[in-house]
Structure 1
């Protein structure tokens, strides 16, 4: 069958960020399906303003030039969302797909899917990567009541018009049901662990430490991801300040970019940590993340203090599992339950950074505990979050949807 795979922020392993759509698209293609990824070129200055087309790993990628970065303010982001929705709608319709798979965020990705399916009854499978607009409303990104009502109306339309819904966590599925989705039309397919990608020789981790001037015996805490308001990476800087008082060797490597990058850097500088205890490094391609995590004692995933964030399905959590690394988070929810039940890391105290620092260092320096957490993480990755297993579930979901009238 021909699949139109709509994802505004599609990445390949040569880029930084999530590669979920890449990994799923190539597996759909390997299954014999014709896959067309419709996405954006976020840095189009050198390549013009039109569409570009390329064959990637057995499927086609169609990119429309629409500038975007994590440093944009909310109004700029909304304009980018709308621009892509408008430009991709006609193109997607011309593909005449058998099924349309639209993955958020943003929620506006449903608009081109809806247009492309109109009058043709092409089934849509809608993937919820974040609970939009629940999260933007909760975090204050969408304060206007009229905008909130419009967003909720689009959300309800997406749920009711879609043949099936894929949610990335149980909490996202619950939020979808609360806002109009049929619970019998939802499949939870979380982010996945690419175990083969992260199965690297330990020498790569040692080399990464050497190339970044980090001592081999230094307890190393790593964050890889977005520096956004929803992430609260400043929390890790504050934890680092408390941790270095306990163990001067400790190093926090914070890797990424985003709207809060300058604030995080300034916070580390003000505390006298920048360049020493706290290293702020540029984002790396997904293909380089295995070396980073191989070097780490503990990987982290942090969010701002808001219950709406507890349902997240952050890629960094699953990368840590695939790499066989202990994971530390600062929120409750389904991932916190997994950490406690499977003994794969820590749920840090969100408000007491001194307590969080002591927790991290105890795990990082207790070899027996740390190695047990590493083994448990890898085992959990294999048992519950194998990319091949989850991709097979997605393939089945799309094939069933394509057979609906």
Structure 2
């Protein structure tokens, strides 16, 4: 998205923290708590603020607030014409609101996860550690202020856009710009890589993403147990990433002696692309929380489609619709009921036993990625929204 904005002639600054496993393209030392440089045609400011999914609530909250303070100072002193506050975390709205109030800087609020709607749903499902009521109330006020104060609001899904309108955002200024597929990074052109312990005949079902309670990866462990017990030895489940549940999941897989499960540490995106190229199935899992149906847009699902993999998902709603038969009449995956380990195991076994079906679904996935989900199409739409919010007309940009 930043590259697309830079290609249109805009001066772009991306401000980020130091997220574990991520690569910004900067490798110099941190000075006064930050380092900066140009990457792919735009400026990157990386604050020395560690953050990871494995951190507890207090540590992550501290990181979010520290980032908000540093980003506010940058926004108010950088000579910018527009700020894009991309949430989560919701605290990214704080520097945007501060810069608007103190400098008159307009901002666009992007909702990539609806907070506090999702934390509240997770708390009710006892999957989020229980966010205190006063914290949820403060989130409510901040989300409402961001939606009403923004020059435009972007949601990754129609469901997220509806949450903004419910908070008072002007419907005419609410847009949907979904996650897209990186067709250059992922695809059949990428050299394949498989972990050394994988047998040549094994069918790899890869999950690449966070290992938190909301991801529901116990279902994968249960499905692997079922496959082992019925003698299905063709399927190996590969879980890539980190999070608060990872250590427990590894311990549980070892306790059950599951030799059909492999855990990998977080990988840089090019390595994930190589792993997906060597895999046969993309695995998309979430805990059985009804709010996930329309309020989530995992980019791992887009990566699987771009890689040309058939997808097995246990998420209802939007994710299930994405893998069902489209206008071309071809499905690009299978949907299992939420939390149903037996159905998940059955879906994996069915695809493992039918290479021709996997090939057809994989071709449908890649074709749909090219036609509908090319990230460049969505980047152009994002640029249009930001330029309109900044008051930049197409003629002025062309000049």
TM-score by length of 1: 0.88
| Aligned-pair CA distance for 1:47 | 3.8
| Counterpart residue number, 2:311 | 327
Work out whether residues 107 and 152 of structure 2, in 8 Å CA contact, stay in contact via their aligned partners in 1.
yes
| Counterpart residue number, 1:241 | 225
Q: Deviations over 1:3-55 (max 9, x none)?
A: xxxxxxxxxxxxxxxxxxxxx111211111100111112469x7465121111
TM-score by length of 2: 0.89
2:240 aligned with 1:255: yes
| Counterpart residue number, 1:129 | 112
Greater shift after overlay, 326-335 or 362-371?
362-371
| Counterpart residue number, 1:37 | 14
Aligned mate of 2:251, from 250, 257, 266: 266
Q: Following TM superposition, where does structure 1 have runs of at least 4 consecutive aligned residues deviating by more than 4 angstroms?
A: none
| SS in structure 2 at match of 1:307 | coil
| Counterpart residue number, 1:85 | 68
| Aligned-pair CA distance for 1:387 | 1.0
| Aligned-pair CA distance for 1:284 | 0.9
| Aligned-pair CA distance for 1:189 | 0.9
| Counterpart residue number, 2:89 | 106
| Aligned-pair CA distance for 1:346 | 1.2
| SS in structure 1 at match of 2:214 | coil
Work out whether residues 246 and 358 of structure 1, in 8 Å CA contact, stay in contact via their aligned partners in 2.
no
Alignment RMSD: 1.9
Q: Aligned equivalents of 2:339 and 2:288: distance in 1? A: 9
| SS in structure 2 at match of 1:332 | coil
Relative to structure 1, the CA distance from residue 351 to residue 105 in structure 2 (aligned partners, 3 Å threshold; closer, same or farther) is closer
Work out whether residues 316 and 337 of structure 2, in 8 Å CA contact, stay in contact via their aligned partners in 1.
no
Q: Aligned equivalents of 2:386 and 2:340: distance in 1? A: 45
| Counterpart residue number, 1:66 | 49
Q: Aligned equivalents of 1:360 and 1:334: distance in 2? A: 21
Work out whether residues 284 and 315 of structure 2, in 8 Å CA contact, stay in contact via their aligned partners in 1.
no
Q: Aligned equivalents of 1:358 and 1:68: distance in 2? A: 37
| Counterpart residue number, 1:345 | 333
| Counterpart residue number, 2:33 | 50
| Aligned-pair CA distance for 1:281 | 0.8
Q: Aligned equivalents of 2:31 and 2:343: distance in 1? A: 52
Structure 1 residue ranges without an equivalent (≥5): 1-23
Q: Aligned equivalents of 2:253 and 2:167: distance in 1? A: 41
Map 1:164-243 onto structure 2 (within 5 A). 164-201=152-189, 204-205=191-192, 208-209=193-194, 211-243=195-227
Work out whether residues 234 and 267 of structure 1, in 8 Å CA contact, stay in contact via their aligned partners in 2.
no
Work out whether residues 102 and 127 of structure 1, in 8 Å CA contact, stay in contact via their aligned partners in 2.
yes
Q: Aligned equivalents of 1:120 and 1:241: distance in 2? A: 58
Work out whether residues 133 and 148 of structure 1, in 8 Å CA contact, stay in contact via their aligned partners in 2.
yes
Q: Deviations over 1:133-184 (max 9, x none)?
A: 1111111245322221111000000000001011111121122222332222
Q: Aligned equivalents of 1:379 and 1:229: distance in 2? A: 33
Aligned mate of 2:5, from 28, 31, 51: 28
